[in-house]
């Protein structure tokens, strides 16, 4: 290393290689990705979020929700469950087989073997694919998150810290708009012991006039504004809630299969 | 190979003109940086207090946790770490070249543009204008100014480098020149592909991971280790041990370091996290090499080195570099990563890298350089020692609880029987101890800023006195006639 040019060359080689690997290659591999087909169906996925939910993603970004919440479900593997569909002509033999064999948490080969045995006895079975892992067991999703799930989002908010729960499927877990809004306004009212800061600035506390607002939040008992007042979401809060409700990763794909 | 023998890298009695040429640029860079350092740790305190009381400042949209936390991180990285490192680099380049700094006024202008960019960026995050990408949160106005300022400083540094009196390069040259080339490339890539013409879908996340790793690990590594390799031999008065080991460290750092950063669970094609995990394992090579160079250079030198304040800071910085790199390697290991991913272990590693390693190294360098370039000693020299012990205590109280809390949190996340609220509650005691760490760090930063601002004041007063003296001197007859 005798002159500046050799340093330039060293940097060019080292950084250039990783630039090609981690910037150019994924752009080529995924940058032109199109919708995927849902397994065992002709429907396409994802469909893009509704307009209000897209605005809500910008509220999510602006308030840095990703500082505490991830939007990615991890999976350790898959297991197969054998489910009897039809006992066939020899129900006694088949039910005997079913009660003596292990039918859950099998590998693909084991499941095929059991399935084969039952088929020989005349029964019909289905093999269900089940994703496994702590995130799945928590009910955070039915399968791991894959590239397709984020196709139309900008910016993609994967997050890198779970100070709170994962939100990839919050629209499936908590599909009630009022629940989402009340939780944003006063998290502790919906989740006992929650450490989430309240986002009161996304709401307005109004005096109930002659015609009460149809958007006013309905609080659980013991919470809520004083009598004569109502909490009404501002447009930002409505958009954010619409975005949270649109977080639904619940279809099987070729890259992430499961049986619904 | 002259520098292998010379105990003190390059000039023994430096040209006073050389040091003086760096005075204004360094004051501009590190003065603003000291301000951002205090702002950053104050913002970090606000963010941390929210774990004691979620209601704290909850009605103020621009102080919500999701805005304050990234603003605090960016103030530390872009506000303090990078501009201070740029100032230190300019001075090291002038010293190694044995020439005064080229175009010092361009560097002063660049320093002001940089700090204006940080101001716009931080204000943007707080009003909700963040781009939403980790470590690239600054909105367009801020990031354009940062890139322009960096390029101007890189031009000054390269011009100074071009005028060097000795052709042979010193090991610090490799690391610091590489850092000058690294930043514009990754920062432009990040901003072009994520903000200006965004790529689609999850590729955004891939590019953000690549950028963050190249900035936080590789760039900080290059700039920090390059600075340490200049100062350690100088402070212990022994040559760097050895040049070849340093060359090995340089190549392995840039070849393997740049491929890390893609976490195991990321929803990306499997080859990407796999490649990253492999590269992270290979990081043991540069880590060992850097550790050996530093250890062999310092070991058995003058006994009184612990009285040497810049040495304490830089030595502690190198220790933190080893620890934070080990944490990085551990997180990339699939068996450990499964537990530590998405936990406070990650922020612990980042803070150790940013504050423990980089800021400490820069404190040492600034404490050494600034008195020499302005020609006055520190107004409060005793506070330098206090600052060292306070920040060491702060780092300990910040990192250790976060790391332990992160592991406990990770173990609880892997057990689906533990409710979400209970996982969060289990981390609270650790987060609360880390707040006290932040408090000590804030205090240390205030002492640092106090010393820098007082030094600037002393320097300005001296300038003023000089100017007054010149005006007051009676004109000689020759001058009066002219």
- Ordered domains of chain A (ranges, CATH): 48-74+137-245 (1.10.760.10), 77-132 (no CATH)
Q: What is the pLDDT of residues B269-326, one digit of tens each?
A: 999 999 999 999 999 999 999 999 999 999 877 656 656 889 999 999 999 999 999 9
Query: What pLDDT, on the 0 to 100 scale, is given for residue A183?
Result: 97
Give residue B384's pLDDT: 95
The reply to whether residue A22 touches residue B209, judged by beta carbons under 8 angstroms, is: yes
pLDDT for B149-163, tens place per residue? 999 999 999 999 999
Partners of A230 in beta bridges: A206
Q: What is the pLDDT of residues B372-415, one digit of tens each?
A: 999 999 999 999 999 999 999 999 999 999 999 999 999 999 99
Subunit contact B181:A200, Cβ cutoff 8 A = no
Q: Does B2 touch chain A (CB under 8 A)?
A: no
Alpha-carbon span A16 to A9, nearest angstrom: 10
Q: Chain A interface, mutation test: which of B67, B126, B132, most A Cβ atoms within 10 Å? A: B132
Per-position b or e across B9-47, b if 16+ CB within 10 A of its CB: bbeeeeeeebbbbbbbbbbbbbbbbbbbbbbbbbbbbbb
Give B254 to chain A, closest Cα distance, Å.
Answer: 6
- Residue A124, sorted as left (phi over 0), alpha (psi -120 to 50) or beta, turns out to be beta
Q: What is the pLDDT of residue B238?
A: 87
* pLDDT of amino acid B473: 84
Q: How many CB pairs under 8 A join A and B?
A: 222
pLDDT in the model for residue B2: 38
Average model confidence (pLDDT) for chain A? 92
Please indicate if any CB of chain B lies within 8 Å of the CB of A119: no
Q: Please, which residues 349-408 of chain B have a Cβ atom closer than 8 Å to chain A?
A: none
With contacts defined as CB-CB under 8 Å, which chain A residues touch B219? none
Q: Say which of A22, A70, A197 has its CB closest to residue B272.
A: A22
Cα–Cα distance for residue pair B365/B310, rounded to 1 Å? 6
Tell me the chain B residues in contact with residue A64 when contact means C-beta distances shorter than 8 Å. Answer: 64-67, 69-70, 130
Of A21, A147, A160, the CB nearest to B201: A147
Does the beta carbon of B270 lie under 8 angstroms from any beta carbon of chain A? no
Neighbours of B404 (CB within 10 A): 16
Domains parsed from chain B with CATH numbers: 14-168 (1.20.120)
Interface test with B, best of A3, A9, A12, A15 (most B CBs within 10 A): A15
Cβ contact (<8 Å) for A70 and B255? no
> Chain A window 15-54: which residues touch B at a Cβ cutoff of 8 Å?
15, 17-19, 21-23, 26-27, 29-33
Instruction: Confirm or reject contact between B163 and chain A (CB < 8 A).
Output: no
Interface test with B, best of A2, A189, A195, A198 (most B CBs within 10 A): A195
Shortest Cα distance from A168 to chain B (angstroms)? 12
Collapse the DSSP code of B100 into the 3-class scheme (helix H, G, I; strand E, B; otherwise coil) and give the result.
coil
Interface residue of A13, A27, A46, A156 to substitute, partner B, most B CBs within 10 Å: A156
Nearest Cα of chain A lies from the Cα of B310 at a distance, in angstroms, of 28
Confirm if A201 and A185 have CB atoms less than 8 A apart: no
The C-alpha of B460 sits at a distance from chain A's nearest C-alpha, in angstroms, of 37
CB contacts, 8 Å: A152 with chain B: 201
| Backbone dihedral angles phi then psi of residue A147, each to the nearest 5 degrees | -55, -40
Summarised one tens digit per residue, pLDDT across range A172-209 is: 999 999 999 999 999 999 999 999 999 999 999 999 88
Confidence at residue B8, expressed as pLDDT on a 0 to 100 scale: 46
Structure pTM?
0.95
pLDDT at A24 over 90: yes
The reply to whether A131 touches chain B by the CB within 8 Å rule is no
Q: In whole angstroms, what is the distance from residue B305 CA to residue B298 CA?
A: 9
| Residue among A75, A123, A11, A91 nearest B182 (CA) | A11
Residue that the structure tokens 């960026």 belong to? B121
pLDDT in tens, B46-80: 999 999 999 999 999 999 999 999 999 999 999 99
Q: Which residue has the tokens 């590239």?
A: A147
Q: Is the pLDDT of residue B6 over 50?
A: no
At residue B477, the pLDDT reads 67
Q: Give yes or no for residue B195 having a pLDDT over 70.
A: yes
Q: What is the pLDDT of residue A33?
A: 85
Q: Helix %, strand %, coil % for chain A, to 5?
A: 40, 15, 45
Q: What is the mean pLDDT of chain B?
A: 93
CB-closest option in A17, A149, A161 to B347: A161
Residue range A136-149, pLDDT digits in tens: 999 999 999 999 99
Give the pLDDT confidence score for residue B306 in this predicted structure. Answer: 59
Question: What residue in A sits closest to B200 (Cα-Cα)?
Answer: A31
Please state, in angstroms and rounded to a whole number, the distance separating the CA atoms of residues B345 and B407: 7
Q: What is the rounded end-to-end Cα distance, in angstroms, of chain B?
A: 54
B342 touches chain A (CB under 8 A): yes
How far lies B305's CA from each of A48, B315, B342, B366, in Å?
63, 10, 41, 18
Q: How far is A109 from chain B (nearest CA, A)?
A: 24
Q: Which residue of B has its CA nearest to A68?
A: B66
This model of the complex carries an ipTM of 0.94
A22, A48, A60, A185: best to mutate for the B interface, most B CBs within 10 A: A22
What does the pLDDT average to over A39-43?
90
Q: Is the pLDDT of residue A214 over 80?
A: yes
Select from A64, A187, A196 the Cβ nearest to the Cβ of B67: A64
């Amino acid at each position: 290393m005798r002159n500046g040019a050799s340093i330039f060359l060293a940097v060019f080689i080292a950084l250039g290689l990783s630039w090609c690997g981690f910037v150019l290659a994924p752009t080529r591999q995924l940058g032109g990705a199109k919708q995927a087909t849902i397994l065992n169906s002709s429907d396409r996925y994802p469909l893009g979020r509704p307009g209000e939910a897209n605005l809500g993603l910008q509220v999510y970004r602006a308030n840095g929700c990703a500082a505490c919440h991830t939007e990615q479900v991890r999976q350790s593997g898959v297991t197969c469950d054998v489910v009897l569909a039809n006992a066939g002509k020899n129900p006694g033999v088949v039910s005997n087989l079913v009660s003596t064999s292990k039918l859950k948490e099998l590998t693909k080969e084991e499941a095929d073997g059991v399935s084969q045995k039952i088929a020989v006895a005349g029964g019909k079975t289905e093999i269900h694919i089940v994703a496994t892992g702590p995130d799945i067991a928590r009910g955070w999703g039915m399968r791991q998150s894959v590239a397709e799930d984020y196709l139309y989002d900008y910016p993609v908010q994967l997050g890198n810290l779970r100070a709170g729960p994962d939100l990839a499927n919050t629209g499936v877990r908590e599909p009630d708009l009022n629940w989402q809004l009340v939780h944003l306004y006063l998290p502790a009212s919906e989740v006992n012991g929650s450490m989430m800061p309240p986002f009161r600035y996304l709401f307005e506390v109004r005096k109930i006039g002659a015609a009460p607002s149809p958007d006013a939040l309905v609080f659980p008992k013991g919470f809520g504004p004083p009598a004569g007042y109502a909490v009404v979401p501002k447009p930002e809060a409505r958009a954010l809630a619409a975005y949270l409700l649109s977080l639904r990763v619940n279809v099987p794909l070729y890259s992430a299969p499961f049986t619904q | 190979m002259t520098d292998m023998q010379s105990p003190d890298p390059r000039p023994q009695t430096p040209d006073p003109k050389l040091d003086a040429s760096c005075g204004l640029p360094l004051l501009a860079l590190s003065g603003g940086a000291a301000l951002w350092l205090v702002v950053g740790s104050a913002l970090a305190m606000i963010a941390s207090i929210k774990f004691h009381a979620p209601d704290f400042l909850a009605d103020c949209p621009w102080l919500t946790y999701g805005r304050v936390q990234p603003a605090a991180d960016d103030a530390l990285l872009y506000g303090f770490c990078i501009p201070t490192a740029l100032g230190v680099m300019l001075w090291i380049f002038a010293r190694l070249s044995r020439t005064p700094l080229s175009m010092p006024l361009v560097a002063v202008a660049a320093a002001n543009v940089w700090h204006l960019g940080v101001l716009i960026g931080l204000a943007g995050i707080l009003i909700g204008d963040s781009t939403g990408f980790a470590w690239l949160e600054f909105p367009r106005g801020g990031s354009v100014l940062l890139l322009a300022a960096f390029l101007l400083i890189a031009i000054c540094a390269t011009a100074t480098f071009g005028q060097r009196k000795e052709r042979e390069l010193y090991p610090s040259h490799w690391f610091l020149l590489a850092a000058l080339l690294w930043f514009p490339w990754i920062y432009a890539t990040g901003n072009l592909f994520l903000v200006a013409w965004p790529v689609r879908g999850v590729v955004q996340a891939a590019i953000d991971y690549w950028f963050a790793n190249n900035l936080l690990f590789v760039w900080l590594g290059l700039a920090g280790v390059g600075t340490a390799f200049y100062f350690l031999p100088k402070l212990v008065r022994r040559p760097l041990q050895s040049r070849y080991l340093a060359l090995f460290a340089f190549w392995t750092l840039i070849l393997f370091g740049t491929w890390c950063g893609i976490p195991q669970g990321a929803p990306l094609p499997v080859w990407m996290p796999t490649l990253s995990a492999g590269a992270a394992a290979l990081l043991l090579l540069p880590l060992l090499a850097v550790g050996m160079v530093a250890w062999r250079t310092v070991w058995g030198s003058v006994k009184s080195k612990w009285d040497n304040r810049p040495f304490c800071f830089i030595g502690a910085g190198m220790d933190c570099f080893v620890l934070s790199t080990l944490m990085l390697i551990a997180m990339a290991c699939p068996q450990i990563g499964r537990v530590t991913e998405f936990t406070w272990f990650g922020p612990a590693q980042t803070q150790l890298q940013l504050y423990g390693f980089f800021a400490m190294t820069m404190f040492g360098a600034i404490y050494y350089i600034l008195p020499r370039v302005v020609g006055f000693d520190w107004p409060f020299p005793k506070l330098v020692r206090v600052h060292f012990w306070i920040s060491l205590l702060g780092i300990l109280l910040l990192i250790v609880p976060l790391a332990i809390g992160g592991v406990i949190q990770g173990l609880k996340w892997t057990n689906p029987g533990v409710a979400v609220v209970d996982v969060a509650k289990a981390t609270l005691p650790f987060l609360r101890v880390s707040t006290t760490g932040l408090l000590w760090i804030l205090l240390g930063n205030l002492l640092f800023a106090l010393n820098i601002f007082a030094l600037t004041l002393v320097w300005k007063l001296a300038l003023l006195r000089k100017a007054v003296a010149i005006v007051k001197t009676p004109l000689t007859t020759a001058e009066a006639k002219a």
